[in-house]
Amino acid sequence: MIPHAQKLGLRLSDQQGESLIIEMPYKAEQEAVSGSGIVANGAITTLLDTALGAAVYDQFETFRRIVTLDLRVDYFEKPQPFSTIVVKTRCLKVTDQMVFVQGDAYSGEGSSPIAHGIAVFSYAEMETNK
Amino acid sequence: MISAYLSRLKEYASFDESLEISPYAKMMGFRLRRQDGNLMTAMTFNSNHIGSPYPPTLHGGTVASLMEMAALMQLIWDKDMGHLPKAIDITVDYLRSGKPEDTYARARVFRRGRRFATLHAEAWQSDPEKPIASAMLHFQLSE
């Protein structure tokens, strides 16, 4: 398990075809401003980073060592207060050394995304099992 | 609230203060520091920051959010803003893996207009010449 993902309470809630659905339940300690119910951007960025990384792992049958080359997050609007944030991933392309992935983040019952992330990961075979 | 917090600190040429005014910043162990007139944001290492256990490396999201905090603090600090600018986007380049130790970030304002600001931030650990990540950020300044 990933300690920081655990700290944020992230969990894989569903898999829809190629897409992973990863959730971050609301926690008061993730608020940017106390009492607002609005989760800090940093937590949303971390949720997207984690979800996109998981989508990359999901592309392979065997374990690979993956590294994030870059990550861009667009913050469309504030999440709904006190709501769970859900990311749905989409793998765009797998090449012999890289994987291109993107994901949309939704909050509460909202049907339009509150944020979008797109990332490039590099990967390598694990040479030996530790 | 944030402006009162920062204006109190402006009287000191150097300081190292926990950013406990924000629950998320507190949970992340973010600190605001000023040294030689330069503002920076620090992240005190905690095992909760680990993203990959073997070997232990920082979760990339923690480094991204540290740089975003550094950019936000720089914007508010420069103009004594009374409200929080809103982040529009962040583009992070991961340059080196983050070791399980304290991390620092600073941000430079490239352009500050009436409505928007563009910043560049970088994060480093023991050696400021070897950044572990850099980022471009845009913020909306108007309320």
Pull the structure tokens for residue A90. Answer: 């989409």
Domain annotation covers residue A130: no
Helix (H, G, I), strand (E, B) or coil at A19: strand
Q: What is the structure's pLDDT at A128?
A: 52
Q: Does B83 touch chain A (CB under 8 A)?
A: no
Show the domain range for B24. 2-140
One DSSP character per residue, chain B reads -HHHHHHHHTT-SSEEEE-TTSHHHHHHTEEEEEETTEEEEEE---GGGEEETTTTEE-HHHHHHHHHHHHHHHHHHHHT-SSPPEEEEEEEEE-SPPPSS-EEEEEEEEEE-SSEEEEEEEEESS-TTS-SEEEEEEEE---
A6 pLDDT above the threshold of 80? yes
Looking up tokens 């204006």 gives B7
Estimate the crossing angle of helix B2-9 against helix B60-79, to 10 degrees. Answer: 80
Please check whether residue B56 is in contact with residue B100, taking contact to mean a CB–CB distance below 8 angstroms.
Answer: yes
Q: What is the structure's pLDDT at A130?
A: 42
**What's the CATH code of the domain at B74?**
3.10.129.10
Q: What is the mean pLDDT of residues B27-32?
A: 97
Total domains in the fold of chain A: 1
The closest CB to that of B60, out of A28, A71, A72, belongs to: A71
Please check whether residue A104 is in contact with residue A86, taking contact to mean a CB–CB distance below 8 angstroms.
Answer: no
Q: Does B134 touch chain A (CB under 8 A)?
A: no
Cis amide bond preceding B55, omega within 30: yes
Among B1, B19, B22, B24, most A C-beta atoms within 10 A, so best to mutate, is: B24
At A77-123, the pLDDT tens digits run 999 999 999 999 999 999 999 999 999 999 988 899 999 999 999 99
Calculate how close chain A gets to B130, using CA atoms only, in Å. 16
DSSP 8-state class, residue A7: H
Nearest CA in chain B to A44: B61
Pull the structure tokens for residue A35. Answer: 């009492």
**What's the CATH code of the domain at A22?**
3.10.129.10
| Nearest residue to B74 (alpha-carbon basis) of B142, B11, B8, B137 | B137
Tell me what percent of the residues of chain A surpass a pLDDT of 70.
Answer: 96
One DSSP character per residue, A31-95 reads BSSTTS-PBPHHHHHHHHHHHHHHHHHTT-SS-EEEEEEEEEEEE-SPPPTT--EEEEEEEEEE-
Q: What is the structure's pLDDT at A61?
A: 87
Higher pLDDT, A43 or A125: A43
Total domains in the fold of chain B: 1
At B53-91, the pLDDT tens digits run 888 999 999 999 999 999 999 999 998 888 889 999 999
Higher pLDDT, B80 or A54: A54
Q: Does B92 touch chain A (CB under 8 A)?
A: yes
